[in-house]
Amino acid sequence: MQLKERLVADTLRATMPPPPAQILDAGGGNGVDALALARQGYRVTLLDSAAAMIAEARQTVIAEGLADRCAIIQGDVAQMGEHVPPATFDAVLCHNVLQYVPDVPQLLADLGQVLRPGGLLSLLSINRHSAPFQAAFLHHDLERALRSLDERQQLTTIFATPMNLFTADEVIAMLEGQRFTIIAHVGIRCICDYWGSNEEKTITPSKIVSKSRPTGLNGALVLPWASRAGSREGCQLG
């Protein structure tokens, strides 16, 4: 998880407009991404429907003295227009939300509405091609891995709820259908999430190499997760 957060933060740092730009984190949970940006001087709005997550974010804001840079709203991204005005934000983050909504094109349209002209959308979602890797390497279930090659849904281990699976090309097509321009497409979550237990992940790099070589994969697992960023003028997948 720390590696994923670092990769996301580094990608955002390289692509975001400079502070104090206005940022919306749509479906941002407890504000890990939004509050990190607030610490850098951005003015952020966090929108999420989970009361517990919102309460945790508010506690962090108070504890760190970030109240002058943070607006925290409990609400559903599906009713975004009821919570935030149009053409307000220089950038919008929507990380790990897309796979849970029933109408992705509508979500993307709503995100575009709250962006200012030329604004940036950072969109991160699980890549459908990661499901076989997860089944094979994390759960050691090759039959399940084979079945998952054609599956369009997966049950999450954290929320125990179904989520929709999309390939990068499918998400790009939906973005372009909403008049976003793709600037970049970056792999965020790689093999680190899908091999071994947390205890095994603490072993030294030399041991990792010795354990990996017999599989014959030689680093073939590169894009289990895909991060996307978009802009109305130059959409960046970051």
Predicted pLDDT at 21: 97
Q: Residues 6 or more apart from 192 whose CB is under 8 A from it?
A: 3, 4, 201
Domain limits of the chain? Answer: 2-231
Higher per-residue confidence, 27 vs 154 = 27
Quote the pLDDT of residue 226.
33
Contacts of 153 (CB under 8 A, 6+ apart): 162, 163, 164, 165
What value does the mean pLDDT of the chain take? 79
pLDDT at 210: 39
pLDDT in tens, 56-113: 999 999 999 999 999 999 999 999 999 999 999 999 999 989 989 999 999 999 999 9
pLDDT band at 24 (very low <50, low <70, confident <90, very high): very high
Q: Which tens digit of pLDDT belongs to each residue from 138-173?
A: 778 888 778 777 777 776 666 667 888 888 889 999
Check residue 195 and give its pLDDT: 63
Q: Right CATH number for 2-231 from 3.40.50.150, 3.40.50.300, 2.40.30.170, 1.10.3720.10?
A: 3.40.50.150
Q: What is the pTM of this model?
A: 0.76
